[in-house]
Amino acid sequence: MLLEEFDGLSPAVIDPQQLLTRREDFPEVTVACFSRELFGQVLSLFEARHTATLYSSLRELPVYEVEYKGRRFAFYQAGVGEPLAVGEYEELIALGSKRLILLGNCGVLDKSIEDCGIIIPTAALRDEGCSYHYLPPADEIEVNRKYRELFTGLLEEIGCPYILGKTWTTDAIYRETRDKAARRREQGAVCVEMECAGMQALCEYRGNEFFQFFYAGDNLDCPDWQPRSVMGHTRLDDKCRIALLAFELGFRIMESEGL
């Protein structure tokens, strides 16, 4: 099986450090979201400074520096889909990023999870490809080990409900079949998305810290698909408030680690 050929020792032919120069002044914590609308609204809350640009055939990706409670953060709009998201963050690691807090939309596999409810993954089912190039093959990968208690403590402090559970990471958004969804529920998954397993694997391989949480979007646990707030412009104010929790978590990480 091709995905069982993990090679963690042989050097890569192309390495991000060949393309980018590390910056010692790069912020300690990077925050990212996927939604264009959400990114624009959150960015407008800060006096942002353009600090870097990543280039690809698809787009030029601006990276901004923002300040929250006196601490510097990098902030960018992550690419949707695991290969793009992983490749872009590889380059940000090469620039100097050490910790990533990533938030995004997910589909729910349990209809009792409320629209825009916060989900904290504890593990990701690896039904994708990228993670197998960063870690040995396995059905799942543990997620959010280091900062999980810090984030749940923040949510409990402000009275914000949340769900803990596994996520199903898949590359094939249009092949999330009903039978597969049922099997993933049996394996403990409460939601489905496209990036978590690979991003966790990348950060483990590179020695970076990673935390991801979701706000619930469309509902797959029903006879007919329910889009709910999956579109970027819907419930944008609610999503913006959720996004600011990423900066608060980053602030508390820096305080707790003396950064």
Tell me the average pLDDT across 229-249. 96
Tell me the average pLDDT across 243-259. 97
* DSSP state at residue 58: S
Q: Which of 104, 22, 101 is nearest to 66 (CA)?
A: 101
Q: What is the band of 97 on the pLDDT scale with cuts at 50, 70, 90?
A: very high
Q: What φ, ψ does residue 249 adopt, rounded to 5°? A: -60, -45
- The H or E element that residue 136 is part of is none
Q: What is the pLDDT of residue 62?
A: 97
Q: What is the band of 84 on the pLDDT scale with cuts at 50, 70, 90?
A: very high
Q: For residue 89, is pLDDT > 90?
A: yes
* DSSP state at residue 79: P
How far is the C-alpha of 151 from the C-alpha of 193, rounded, in Å? 20
Q: What is the pLDDT of residue 109?
A: 98
Q: Compute CA 245 distance to the chain's CA centroid, rounded to the nearest angstrom.
A: 14
Q: What is the band of 107 on the pLDDT scale with cuts at 50, 70, 90?
A: very high
Note if the pTM is more than 0.75: yes
Q: Which of 125, 227, 144, 114 is nearest to 186 (CA)?
A: 125
- Condensed to tens digits (0 to 9), the pLDDT of residues 36-64 reads 999 999 999 999 999 999 998 889 999 99
Return the percentage of the chain with pLDDT > 70, whole number. 100
- Condensed to tens digits (0 to 9), the pLDDT of residues 139-188 reads 999 999 999 999 999 999 999 999 999 999 999 999 999 999 999 999 99
DSSP per residue over 3-54, as a string? GG---SSSPPSS-GGGT----TTS-SEEEEES-HHHHHHHHTTS--EEEEEE
Q: For residue 1, is pLDDT > 90?
A: no
Q: For residue 103, is pLDDT > 90?
A: yes
Q: What is the band of 3 on the pLDDT scale with cuts at 50, 70, 90?
A: confident
Tell me the average pLDDT across 224-235. 93
Domain 16-256, CATH class in plain words: alpha beta
Q: For residue 75, is pLDDT > 90?
A: yes
Return the percentage of the chain with pLDDT > 90, whole number. 95
**Is-contact 99 30, C-beta < 8 A?**
yes
The domain ranges of the chain are 16-256
**Across the chain, which distance is largest between two alpha carbons, in Å?**
52
Q: What is the pLDDT of residue 205?
A: 97
Going from the C-alpha of 125 to that of each of 93, 166, 176, 186, the distances in angstroms are 24, 7, 13, 12
**Is-contact 191 165, C-beta < 8 A?**
yes
Q: What is the pLDDT of residue 131?
A: 98
Q: Which residues contact 238 (CB under 8 A, 6 or more apart)?
A: 116, 215, 229
Per-residue tokens: 237: 């104010």
Q: What is the pLDDT of residue 58?
A: 84
